[in-house]
Structure 1
């Protein structure tokens, strides 16, 4: 949207106008009006804080005149031809704005505008540096911008640099996340601020979360305990549910290979300007059986994965009430999952099954004024999981149930004073666990934490801004002795097209109940003496640079980190081949590089995106050495999207490097593999509604891959989905 600014000269007398017209008519043989160049002054401020935006770039589109804002947020452009001109105003971490100014001859035009803080697109069509209000280095995934090759939440996260998703099969199979070589239980996953990590295993099965119910996903790599507390040792994943978007509706139906079927719907309603209601529901299922290659050390040949069926049903409801500076939201959700437990290909099961149910409700109150604000959260959640197998291939029949109830209270506040902002908060969680798999009949755990963060932003030169953040959190956890202290600090320099940041963080993760107290079985043993995992010092350095040339936009990003883990909990066998968890010191460092290129062509923009990650995660002890099992040293992705008149086509190439399968041994090392996916998106006009058809050809080259030993991945597949959206019902 353009902003028009018109400057008028003071009224003149009729005599003056008559004399001036006569003089011009007599003396000037050239045009009737002399063209005197004008000046344009542009003042730019932060739309969220009101503070000046330093180093914003202001460009006159037609002439190429350019200037940057100084410490006052002011840019001065001299010698601009009079008339209407479109100005483009851009700054790192903000949405680019277009304004229009019209000035008379020889006059100064003054424009004041505010920029909206927003993600800046980096190493991926769907991965972006997160906006203000989030810890440094955050990467955002917008669900509305995902291409057709992304079919679920694990797919969406798999394209983030430094993230590895481990799946145990095809559609609907359990999927867990690793960030920068971490264990899955070292990654904290929050849905609308509420943890999804199982208190029994510490892990999150991403396949239980429906992607269509989410508005966005933010990944915070690295140690994040100074803000998010326990389990945020490897990183944090923030999941945000959809909210009301006017009177609108969305419906999606689809099907695909391996018996895949899905249907989901979402709608929102605004009965009054102050009230909003949104609701959604999802159902999807898959048979999940597929052919796979049996590895040579298992005898070779080809097998078929059986008992891999999957079915998920879920729904959400949210009611919100808004005031002038505050919003109250009440949200409820329920999800039920049924699936088979096929086991490994070495010991397959055709009778194992799992049933999961997750439900809960939360109340959130949020208030924001000009210079102060805060929020309050009350959450009640429950989970039930049943695992059974009347005829397992190994051991005795089992029928186990786990029940978890969780209560959380959290509050935070912030206050801005000049160029500094102070944020602080407290959180209290109480979990009650009853599990047949534990030696304890029931267990109650409490977590309490308090955190604070000081943020400072100031110009250091006319084109440079300095941002600094210092944070500290104190935690008490029933599974960790004493008080855990987690500090953090980061400093960044922001130039018109470049951003550099250095950071320091500490983090910890407590042992989980399963590793401490699970029922011992054949060849497995618990370890009640496990110590908490800690990152005593994580250092990170990141650099982002944007370049525009002949209409094309190139953005490159590089991140390096070093953060050893003391007492990392890893499973390994003893001399009698009895498996148990133990504490091991691990050396960890890595490098992530990525770039995105936008190429305008015939009024359309084509994109090429790529990233490469190198991860060194090795044992530091004398007994075990080498890379930790299932941590690929190299991983990467290359994505190309072509925007055409009839729609868009996306080609995605994903690569996973070689992985060790045994602790401290290179025997049976798994080979690297690459997966090629192809997707098409075709829009359809349906009157008031907007529709599109998405077609996906997954694993186009039919690569028979295995990320984990004895858990093969499916070969070539397909899916087709129809989306219908109706805005402004």
Structure 2
């Protein structure tokens, strides 16, 4: 018997004469999947694009909120706004996801993860989520896939923007920006701020194995300030320069103690530049460089004792990178990419790591070819890590487009993840003898249009995947340290569809997954922790002249919080409502009701999630006159 949700994305195709003609839209161009501009319908990778229009339509308040319903994505968060959020792609670990901002690798080299909860959503132009291994193009970390965040680009006439809002949990937010440019130049300046009293983050118990390990029945607030600066200039049709800076300063309260702290201050900064040159018509040369900075400090704040933010612990990561890429159009429909990138990670803080820096040099090549209805992509990469030596990865994909518009594809890829500095050197945990985690994945894909006679209503996509990961790093009780003792096999199905029916815009996404632990211990056969077996999201939106309304249904199946599968987190359903009124061409009033039925749920054991909440936001941005 089929799972009932498996039919949901496909039901759109059965609407028959009830379907209405959809407006013509341009096919989005994907950069992340192949490191070259490729139309979304032409790429053989499983990709989801979230543009600025969708961010505004869904009235998303954070990057984790925005990613929640993407196929293959599982989110977990240790509390409310601003608290640590983990993203899993296709059932892999949260540190198996590579996160880029405008092409620059970000995140903590000590933890191995990226603070998506601190990326200011007001400064984002577009997000590309590529699911499946991409180490053959990017090196370490891209076992589950790549998430690339593009900041606002600017350009066009001088255009100001501003917003102010507020709502539940004492939340206040404001943002302002200015974009513009000329025939050859572009720029965007933006600033945003938010504060919230938050919720009680954790119903912990005085034990290191129960949630936060302490009990503080108080609200845990969050304050953030973000700044984005981006500018560029096109010297000619063959040369251009793009520079960008994104900075986020955050203060987060959490349930803690005088030993571990209960307040953190963190800073995220990404600085980068890209120079493009086309010496010859078929040859594009790209030189890019970047610097990312991730800093975290923990304090203890107890006003009753007259102690104000006593510093306890701190970590800082600096990541420098430079890349040279050559794209050669060797024939019609055929592109050869050759490149090299160099990266260096440095860490510092209150923990004395045995080794505090390492570098990596990667050489990669890729071929993309179109031969009538057949598309081929093949890529190879070799990384030379200062600590782990050479490591080769590859990816191959083959697709065929039938006359009815349905494309069939198959791909195979390998990937790896180098251990983090905490895995290697953290006191009473690290193991300097660890090997990199390794994976190999197989994927089958189908995609096509939803037709009504000669008109096209939307698109659908179906992906089946199998990933096997070896040498997974986990805590080994007998040695009381990290060790390569785990392995996993993940089977999954992703289905999605977008259509327009009776003036309603529908977007649906379904993921069914079996993330099985294959370790030679008591956890063998268990589900990997914090991965939901099923997730489903349905968005409905409609425009009525000045009004627009919408709703989102999100359903998550059960998950477990531990390797032993002893702590079960129940399934849950969330319903959000949203509305917008265009006061005039420049002024819009938005309202959003989150978790409308006040569902009580957890995505991490004993960590609370917000209940029913209401937010109101006023936006000002004149329409561009091109």
TM-score, normalised to structure 1, is 0.74
Q: 1:379 to 1:708 in 2, by over 3 A?
A: same
User: What secondary structure is seen at the aligned counterpart in 2 of 1:258?
Assistant: helix
Q: Is the 8 A contact 2:107 2:294 kept in 1?
A: no
| 1:451-508 Cα shifts (integer Å, max 9, x gaps) | 110111021xxxxx1110110011012342x311111110111235211111010000
Does 2:233 match 1:321?
Answer: yes
Query: How far 1:399 sits from its partner (Å)?
Result: 1.0
**Partner residue, 1:470:** 378
Matches of 2:64 and 2:605, distance apart in 1: 19
Query: How far 1:435 sits from its partner (Å)?
Result: 2.3
Q: 1:413 to 1:448 in 2, by over 3 A?
A: same
| 1:306-325 Cα shifts (integer Å, max 9, x gaps) | 25111111212222111222
Does 2:46 match 1:137?
Answer: yes
Q: 1:629 to 1:245 in 2, by over 3 A?
A: same
Query: How far 1:298 sits from its partner (Å)?
Result: 8.6
Aligned ranges 1:629-640 → 2 under 5 Å: 629-640=529-540
| 1:375-405 Cα shifts (integer Å, max 9, x gaps) | 11122333322112378xxxxx971122222
Q: Is the 8 A contact 2:220 2:255 kept in 1?
A: yes
**Aligned residues between the structures:** 577
Matches of 1:708 and 1:349, distance apart in 2: 23
User: What secondary structure is seen at the aligned counterpart in 2 of 1:565?
Assistant: strand
Does 2:498 match 1:596?
Answer: yes
Q: 1:342 to 1:526 in 2, by over 3 A?
A: same
**Partner residue, 1:644:** 544
Does 2:251 match 1:338?
Answer: yes
Matches of 1:290 and 1:696, distance apart in 2: 22
**Partner residue, 2:268:** 358
Matches of 1:366 and 1:142, distance apart in 2: 24
- Unpaired runs of 5+ residues, structure 2, are 1-20, 31-37, 303-309
Query: How far 1:553 sits from its partner (Å)?
Result: 1.6
| 1:21-75 Cα shifts (integer Å, max 9, x gaps) | xxxxxxxxxxxxxxxxxxxxxxxxxxxxxxxxxxxxxxxxxxxxxxxxxxxxxxx
Does 2:510 match 1:612?
Answer: yes
**Partner residue, 1:41:** none
Aligned ranges 1:688-727 → 2 under 5 Å: 689-727=585-623
Q: Is the 8 A contact 1:616 1:627 kept in 2?
A: yes
Matches of 2:186 and 2:448, distance apart in 1: 40
Q: 1:223 to 1:305 in 2, by over 3 A?
A: farther
Does 2:584 match 1:678?
Answer: no
Query: How far 1:559 sits from its partner (Å)?
Result: 0.3
Q: Which has the higher contact order (CA 8 A, sep 6+)?
A: 2
Query: How far 1:654 sits from its partner (Å)?
Result: 0.9
**Partner residue, 1:427:** 341
TM-score, normalised to structure 2, is 0.86
Aligned ranges 1:152-163 → 2 under 5 Å: 152-163=62-73
Does 2:435 match 1:531?
Answer: yes
**Partner residue, 1:502:** 410
User: What secondary structure is seen at the aligned counterpart in 2 of 1:363?
Assistant: strand
Q: 1:597 to 1:269 in 2, by over 3 A?
A: closer
User: What secondary structure is seen at the aligned counterpart in 2 of 1:185?
Assistant: helix
Q: Is the 8 A contact 1:683 1:692 kept in 2?
A: yes
Aligned ranges 1:113-262 → 2 under 5 Å: 118=28, 131=40, 136-146=45-55, 147-246=57-156, 247-262=158-173
Matches of 1:552 and 1:606, distance apart in 2: 15
| 1:549-587 Cα shifts (integer Å, max 9, x gaps) | 276725321100111000122346x379x6856530111
Q: Which of 1 and 2 has greater Rg? A: 1
Aligned ranges 1:261-300 → 2 under 5 Å: 261-270=172-181, 272-290=182-200
User: What secondary structure is seen at the aligned counterpart in 1 of 2:423?
Assistant: helix
Q: 1:350 to 1:232 in 2, by over 3 A?
A: closer
User: What secondary structure is seen at the aligned counterpart in 2 of 1:722?
Assistant: strand
Q: Is the 8 A contact 1:149 1:652 kept in 2?
A: no
Matches of 1:289 and 1:705, distance apart in 2: 13
Matches of 2:576 and 2:216, distance apart in 1: 23
Moved more, 148-157 or 623-632: 148-157
**Aligned Cα RMSD in Å?**
2.9
Matches of 2:222 and 2:419, distance apart in 1: 30
